[in-house]
Amino acid sequence: MRLFLCHSVMTVFLFFSFGCQSSETSKQVGIPRIAISEEHIRPFDQVATEVRFVSLRPPENPSINLGSTSYKLFISDKIYYATNWYQRTGVHIFDLDGKHLKSLRKKGDGPGEYQSLQGFYINDDVLSISSGHGVIKQYSLSDLTYIKEFTLGKSFLLSNFYPLDASSWLISVEFTGELDETGTFPVFTKVNSENGTSSPLPIYASSVNAKMGEGSIAPFDNQFLLNYGLSDTLFNYDGNKAHAHLVLDFGNKHPDQKYLLANPEKFDQILLDQSSAINLGHINYTAHTIQLKTFGLKKSPILDAEDLRTFPFYTVFIGPEQQVVGFSSFSGLEGKGFAKDGYFYEVLQTEDWIYALENNLLGDYGPALEAYLETIPDPEDPIIMEFKVAF
């Protein structure tokens, strides 16, 4: 990949009517403002506790290659790991110790098959898959038989979707080229799967977000937390209204958004200079703790424009008392992980754990991973890293 910004950031700079620090939202009284800076970044072994590694072991016959740069993770009483990588496209189900149980692999054009697997959601005994152009296909979890399909909007890409009730869904919307009279488009929308009606949430981005992708959604105490790239405001949505939840304050590292909107070509140099801190738009939540991913809080002394792993990506946590801690990310830009019951989960592909061990990113947990690698059949299988956060 040439430059991270060429594909993900250069054309993704957002101007948010709710998200920039100069907006009225940021000035409203009563909205917590969370200062996040370099001083909050610590070694991983000073942030993480109860660390456990679980290798996802595919069946030997037929053999399944689980390695993928495009993946999704969901954990309940089982581990659900989905890949969207050419012929590797499928949802693979494991027990909590990583033993393979079964896989849904129905890539194709026939009845009950899918051409793409952009995202998935599990509710009760139903697996819902986003297969492109807003089409959701549902399968029974018990035997992976096809149930039905329906459509949520018109977006070619739909990776985040959550049910609000029997027929209403909250989705994050890919930019389709359509702008309103103010030159913006809604990032999140409520869609009725039965009659196709939709109601955009009042959270908007400009067309320069076109190649950013979608916003992120995380279940949050019977509501949802909403985030999207370069916003300095996180929102909560209760099924009816969206409210500002908190403001991210990057201090003097906050980018000058008006300047960048007028001069988007300057964003290249800002990233390479590492002069600004950026909210990348990911979000997870569990046990009153929010997980985000950021760029540029602390400069990387080895930044190489040809190698994303050298970019200053940091995983940041905001605790129940508004405490902040963070560490160097293991999975670069793409990894979004999962959160449940007070634990956070990261997927380590082979390149991730090799880089982490070579650069001592795991600290005191490095030897534990090395010992674990000696016990598994194939260290090239994805490894789930489970941990809690200490503030």
Percent of the chain clearing pLDDT 90 (strictly above): 65
d(CA 16, CA 21): 9
- pLDDT-derived band at 21 (thresholds 50, 70, 90) equals very low
Region 241-259: mean pLDDT is 88
Residue 8: is its pLDDT beyond 60? no
Please compute the mean of the pLDDT values over residues 273-293 and round it to a whole number: 94
Enter the tokens of residue 192: 């009725």
Average pLDDT, the chain: 87
Q: What is the pLDDT of residues 312-369, one digit of tens each?
A: 999 999 999 999 999 999 876 666 799 999 999 999 999 999 999 999 999 999 999 9
Report the distance separating Cα 142 and Cα 219, nearest Å. Answer: 24
Give the mean model confidence (pLDDT) for residues 250-267: 76
Total domains, the chain: 1
Peptide bond between residue 111 and the one before it cis (omega within 30 degrees of 0): no
Q: What is the mean pLDDT of residues 111-123?
A: 92
Q: 323 or 24: whose pLDDT is higher?
A: 323
In this structure, which amino acid lies at residue 116? Answer: S
CA-to-CA separations, 324 to 38, 201, 278, 293, 374, in angstroms, rounded: 11, 28, 16, 13, 35
HEC sequence for 291-342? EEEEECCCCCCCCECCEHHHCCEEEEEECCCCCEEEEECCCCCCCCCEEECC
In a 3-state reduction of DSSP, which class is residue 27?
helix
The answer on pLDDT for 102 being more than 80 is yes
Rounded CA gap, 52 and 54, in Å? 7
CATH for 8: 2.120.10.30
Question: CB of 350 within 8 A of CB of 65?
Answer: no
pLDDT per residue over 215-238, tens digit each? 899 999 999 999 988 888 999 999
pLDDT score recorded for residue 264: 65
Nearest to 363 by CA among 52, 47, 44: 44
What residues make up the domain containing 10? 4-389
The pLDDT value recorded for residue 202 is 94
With CA atoms as reference, report the closest residue to 351 among 375, 334, 337.
334
From residue 287, give the alpha-carbon distance in Å to each of 49, 79, 137.
Answer: 15, 20, 31
Tens of pLDDT, residues 151-192: 998 888 899 999 999 999 999 977 777 888 887 788 999 999
Task: Determine the Cα–Cα distance for residues 333 and 355; give it in Å rounded to an integer.
Answer: 14
Distance CA 139, CA 147 (A): 5
Mean per-residue pLDDT for 88-108?
A: 93
Residues 284-310, mean pLDDT to the nearest whole number: 93
What whole-number distance in Å separates Cα of residue 180 and Cα of residue 204? 10
What's the average model confidence in pLDDT over 10-17? 35
Q: How far apart are CA 207 and CA 7, in angstroms?
A: 15
